[in-house]
Structure 1
Amino acid sequence: MPDVEIRQLGLTDYAVTLAEMQAYTAQRNADSSDQLWVTEHPPVYTLGLNRRGVRLPDNSIPVLNVDRGGKITYHGPGQLIIYCLIDLARSHLNVRQLVSILENSLIDFLADHSVAAEARADAPGVYVDGKKIASLGLRLKNQCCYHGLSLNVDMDLQPFADIDPCGYAGMQMTQTTELKIPLAMADIAAALTQKLKEKLAHVR
């Protein structure tokens, strides 16, 4: 089985990247590589498939309907995005197991920098002292997934206050700079993708 490929995309338009993920997933075959796409997006809210009762923002940032699970979240510069294009059947994984890999990779990365973090069964993502630092959202098609995780690194957190992040009113957000983790975005991306590759290799 081929190794997981890492694609460094830089700053990308959300809608364009989503279309590229969908296209890659639709044309996959048994030999298609699993890939991790590393990117950031200009300011955008994304509204998942669970749209009932969502509080929409009252600002000028665009809102896009997307095909991942969950409710509404915010993406912007200074937030690390890692999209996970994985053939779950080939890797003998189910969605819950992949979610655990994503959460545990984030938790392990933060632990390396003396930050205690946890996952929550009632609200997917990773939390530090009750504040959310990372969000997860996946889409499964023909046993292949796309979408992935977002980690707040050094961004404007104010747009989160204009929504109920992932459907939770009053959810507080944090980021690695607030936790005094002295790493640039590229270094965090390298460390986190390495942890993801290691955990994925363990089950392949």
Structure 2
Amino acid sequence: MDSPLPDIEWRIADAPVPYEEAVATMEARAAAVLAGEAHELVWLLEHPPIYTAGTSADPADLLDPRFPVHKTGRGGKYTYHGPGQRIGYVVLDLGRRGRDVRTYVHALENWVIAALSRIGIAAYPVPDRIGIWTRDGGEEAKIGAIGVRVRKWVTLHGFSVNIAPDLAHFGGIVPCGLPDYPVTSVAKLGKTADFATFDAALALHTGPFIESLGQAR
């Protein structure tokens, strides 16, 4: 798929990428963006099964470490990554796009929500719970997570969306520290469950996402 915006590289991995390898690649790109030596990046991928612990992770939320556990510099608590989940690592220079982290997080949420709407899922944010939410039957459930880090106004990490993962794998943690809410997926909701469809929906809304951050200088 070609990049939706000419000045931002749009990269799609064709096989699962080990977490540590992905983070090293992302951080190298962030340093290059800061130095003015590389384009900004949207990198869509998936990981082998892992749990990641954000900067506010509570050890009590790690219930059953059946997969490797990685500490990470992003905000948030424990989350699961694995096959069937679309990860979006977003490396943008907020130094020329508004310098507003709160606006950036809301823009990420709205971008994912718009893409999910394209495939028939009514998702929404919740003010006191960062992430992407929807209704699964009669209850509220989380379908996507947001976890970001900003270093010298360059963004790292990004979002994850449950397309068709094994939802039982979330059972080893309290996802995002929220024990009272289940997780769901595009597949569980009975919608088209493939990466290509979701990636295309994201691409259609990349322009509005970038524009919402403020005018580049």
TM-score, normalised relative to structure 1: 0.92
Give 1:173's aligned residue. Answer: 183
- Secondary structure at the counterpart of residue 92 of structure 2: strand
Q: CA deviation at 1:93?
A: 4.3
Q: Percent identity?
A: 34
The equivalent position to 2:165 in structure 1, one of 155, 164, 167, is 155
Give 1:101's aligned residue. Answer: 107
Distance 1:167 1:80, change over 3 A: same
Farther-moved stretch of structure 1 (160-169 vs 74-83)? 160-169
The equivalent position to 2:13 in structure 1, one of 9, 12, 16, is 9
Tell whether the 8 Å contact from 2:133 to 2:142 is kept in structure 1 after alignment: yes
Give 2:32's aligned residue. Answer: 27
Structure 2 residues not aligned, in runs of 5+: none
Farther-moved stretch of structure 1 (14-23 vs 76-85)? 14-23
Give 2:147's aligned residue. Answer: 137
Give 1:88's aligned residue. Answer: 94
> In 2, Cα distance between the equivalents of 1:52 and 1:188?
32
> In 1, Cα distance between the equivalents of 2:124 and 2:175?
17
Please show how residues 107-146 of structure 1 align to structure 2 within 5 Å: 107-129=113-135, 130-146=140-156
Aligned CA-pair RMSD: 1.9
Give 2:49's aligned residue. Answer: 43
> In 1, Cα distance between the equivalents of 2:196 and 2:118?
16
TM-score, normalised relative to structure 2: 0.87
Structure 1 residues not aligned, in runs of 5+: none
Q: CA deviation at 1:2?
A: 5.8
Farther-moved stretch of structure 1 (26-35 vs 4-13)? 26-35
Tell whether the 8 Å contact from 2:143 to 2:184 is kept in structure 1 after alignment: yes
Farther-moved stretch of structure 1 (148-157 vs 59-68)? 59-68
Tell whether the 8 Å contact from 2:52 to 2:80 is kept in structure 1 after alignment: yes
For 2:169, give the aligned amino acid. P
Tell whether the 8 Å contact from 2:66 to 2:172 is kept in structure 1 after alignment: no
> In 2, Cα distance between the equivalents of 1:164 and 1:57?
7
> In 2, Cα distance between the equivalents of 1:44 and 1:126?
20
The equivalent position to 2:84 in structure 1, one of 78, 81, 84, is 78
- Secondary structure at the counterpart of residue 150 of structure 2: strand
For 1:118, give the aligned amino acid. Y
Tell whether the 8 Å contact from 2:63 to 2:174 is kept in structure 1 after alignment: no
- Secondary structure at the counterpart of residue 109 of structure 1: helix
Count of residue pairs the alignment pairs up? 204
Distance 1:59 1:143, change over 3 A: closer
Tell whether the 8 Å contact from 2:45 to 2:87 is kept in structure 1 after alignment: yes
Q: What are the superposed Cα offsets for residues 38-94 of structure 1, whole Å, 9 maximum, x if unpaired?
A: 100000000011134542132421100111001100000000011110101112241
